[in-house]
Amino acid sequence: MEGKQQLTERDVSGRATEEVGKQAMGPAFMAAVASVGLSWYYFFMRGDRERGIFVGLWPPTILAFASYFNQRKMRQQMDTITRPGTTLKSAIDSMMGNK
């Protein structure tokens, strides 16, 4: 039977990871979709091909920044779970609930 602390730690870390993913990618995804729409508007509707291509290059940049910030948050969570000074085996055991 798992201890209450281990169960709580595992549940919190799983929920926190899902929340970080939703928070980081939600607004970034919407901004990327909006910039694609704006790019199509400039390229096809207005006939301004250079501006359309320029705005069309924004989505990869926006998504790259979102991915970077998402990875930073995940790294911070991993650092809090593993706590400096613990061995790799004990950190994995605590994450898996074996200890």
The tens digit of pLDDT for each residue in 74-93 reads 888 777 776 666 677 776 77
Quote the CA–CA distance of 62 and 83 in Å, as a whole number.
32
Answer whether 10's CB lies under 8 Å from 93's CB.
no
Q: Give the per-residue pLDDT at 75.
A: 87
The Cα 54–Cα 48 span in angstroms is 10
pLDDT digits (tens, 9 = 90+) for 5-34: 444 444 545 555 566 556 556 899 999 999
Stated pTM of the model? 0.57
